[in-house]
Amino acid sequence: MKTVKFTAMKDGDREDYAFLTEHEIEYAAKTGDRLLDALVKLDEGLSGYKITRLGHSLQAATRAYRDGADTDWIACALLHDIGDIYAPYNHDEYAAAIVKPFVREQCTWVVEKHGDFQRLYYAHHLGGNRHAREKFADHPYFNDCDEFCERWDQSSFDPDYDTLPIDFFRPFVAEVFARNAYDPAVIRAGERVALVNPEIASQRAGASA
């Protein structure tokens, strides 16, 4: 297999780095597939809930889809807990770092902060602060994270819910990770998009009927 000429980065030349860039672009194009493979491994993680961590992720994404959410929200609902295996104490930040170059700033912030917002539902049972979210009370995306957790995250542990399979979400993930990283037209800094779109939700419900 062809490789660069150098053994220390400072010795590389234009040809070396053009060669590496070509390979990196090709590798990055398959990020979505690798993430879906990693998501499946959530089934092997520590649980104790009535469904697996993968089941939870799929159920959250299913609820987002059925609420008429756009592609960014659906992908983030699916991937919001992907850090559970490798970063159990900051899984929210881990997931946010993965999606950050490819989704709206709004969605990245919600994924990054959802751990603090989720504490509302359980922290007081463990002697913790269930109101940790209040430090973000003045943030423009506060209500979005509140709604994300209430509608899609805390509610998605139901073994009887009709959850869609992982292959259903492949096109959404593929679309997101095929984007140009950090494209301002994708990041849309400061822009808010509603999590719920009743018109699209109705269309999707009709299509699946």
**Residues in contact with 95: Cβ distance below 8 Å, sequence separation at least 6, in sequence order:** 79, 80, 81, 82, 83, 111, 112
What span, in angstroms and rounded, lies between the C-alpha atoms of 133 and 141?
12
The pTM assigned to this predicted structure is 0.93
pLDDT tens for each residue of 103-135: 999 999 999 999 999 999 999 999 999 999 999
Rounded to whole angstroms, the Cα distance separating 187 from 6 reads 36
pLDDT band for 209, please (50, 70, 90 cuts): low
The average pLDDT across 163-190 equals 97
pLDDT at 46 over 80: no
Instruction: Give the pLDDT confidence of 55-94 residue by residue, as tens digits.
Output: 999 999 999 999 999 999 999 999 999 998 889 899 999 9
**In CATH, what number does 9-208 get?**
1.10.3210.10
Cβ atoms of 106 and 192 within 8 Å: the answer is yes
